[in-house]
Amino acid sequence: MSRDSAAAPGVRIRGLTVVYKTPAGELPAVSGVDLTLAPGTITGVVGESGSGKSTLALSLLNAVQPPGRISAGSVEIDGLGDVLALGGEELRRARGRKVGYVFQAAQNSLNPLKTIGKQLLDLGRSHDVDDLRELVRDAKGLLARMGLDGARVLDSHQHELSGGMRQRVGIMLALVLNAQVVVLDEPTTALDMITQATILRIIREVHEERALTTLVITHDVGAVAEVADSLAVMYGGRVVEHGPIAEVLGGPRHPYTQGLIRAIPRLSGDISLARALPGRPPTLGTLPVAGCVFRERCDRRMEICDTVEPEPVTHDGRTVSCHATGRPSPAVKRREYA
């Protein structure tokens, strides 16, 4: 199938807030996020652990589990409506049919007591697929497209497959019902470099062939640079910068984005140019209730940062939430990403 972005749905996340119940009360893991996934594009979301990336991804399935809950906002998908307004059978059918999800650590989403083939048939029956033989043929075709022996894989249990094979099985299960929006949560975590490169190539090729709208969650800036069209940077449950990936990585405007890029290890040149971000990312219990969530680690902190949360400002297709935006910034070495 050739790429046809007109056939791919757009996704609009508006005012999304997700809170978790704690002894200190309900605390936000995602706070007021606005993010648009353009039809037919791959959007990467990066940030340190605890930044809210996976919680944001689960919200696209309306699948945040207690003690968490979505307290505000909407997730509009073309042809489906607001996912957060769906429930019961309607929501179950949307999962898989409209929105596919590849979970972090794919083995955790597979049943260790059943073969992959039996799990595939269970998936088909749960969505009232009329022709299960055709479903199996489609699954074998997808697995073959990803370099696997489909018959062998479908006859295997998850423990008989390598990490890279399980990740590809997860991608197959997310696509076999012809979902048009696909969410991949840390698709290359714990994989060796060669397998990572293979998975990234598969993501881009399948995305283009099936005219998908794709969201890739990762902490690896280098990995997402290989496949994404746009990049959203999350910190403390907020999207602090968003724009075309080449522009965000080539000329980062938010101090956190600049820090992430400075921290990328280098294989050549002056290794002292790579510098870790100072301090630690906040937890639910240490997130400030007012002001900028990044201020404790920011080298451009101003008095206003202590009391006023910066509003997102969009200019030339780039959105940045920072009081210091527009002021002279420290030099950040520009890097080229193929």
Q: What is the mean pLDDT of residues 59-65?
A: 95
Q: How far, in Å, CA of 130 to CA of 120, rounded? A: 14
pLDDT of 228 strictly over 70: yes
The DSSP-derived string for 76-144 is EETTTEEGGG--HHHHHHHHHHTEEEE-SSGGGGS-TTS-HHHHHHHHHHHTT-S-HHHHHHHHHHHHH
Paired tokens of 222: 């280098």
CB proximity list for 2: less than 8 A, separation 6 or greater: 208, 209, 211
Q: How far, in Å, CA of 220 to CA of 198, rounded? A: 15
pLDDT-wise least confident of 102-111, 218-227, 266-275: 266-275
Looking at residue 268, its pLDDT comes to 65
CB proximity list for 302: less than 8 A, separation 6 or greater: 323, 324
CA angle 277-52-19, nearest 5°? 130
Looking at residue 269, its pLDDT comes to 64
pLDDT of 330 strictly over 70: no
CATH architecture label of 1-88+181-195+207-338: 3-Layer(aba) Sandwich (3.40)
Looking at residue 5, its pLDDT comes to 45
CA 17, chain centre distance (Å): 17
Q: Are 265 and 274 in contact (CB under 8 A)?
A: yes
DSSP 221: H
Q: How far, in Å, CA of 145 to CA of 202, rounded? A: 8
pLDDT of 338 strictly over 90: no
How much is the pTM?
Answer: 0.88
Q: What is the mean pLDDT of residues 31-43?
A: 96
Residue span(s) of the chain under CATH 3.40.50.300 come to: 1-88+181-195+207-338
CB count in 10 Å sphere of residue 217 = 26
Mean of all residue pLDDT scores within the chain = 89
Confidence band (pLDDT; 50, 70, 90) for 272? Answer: low
- pLDDT > 90 in the chain, percent: 69
Q: How far, in Å, CA of 267 to CA of 249, rounded? A: 18
The DSSP-derived string for 228-249 is -SEEEEEETTEEEEEEEHHHHH
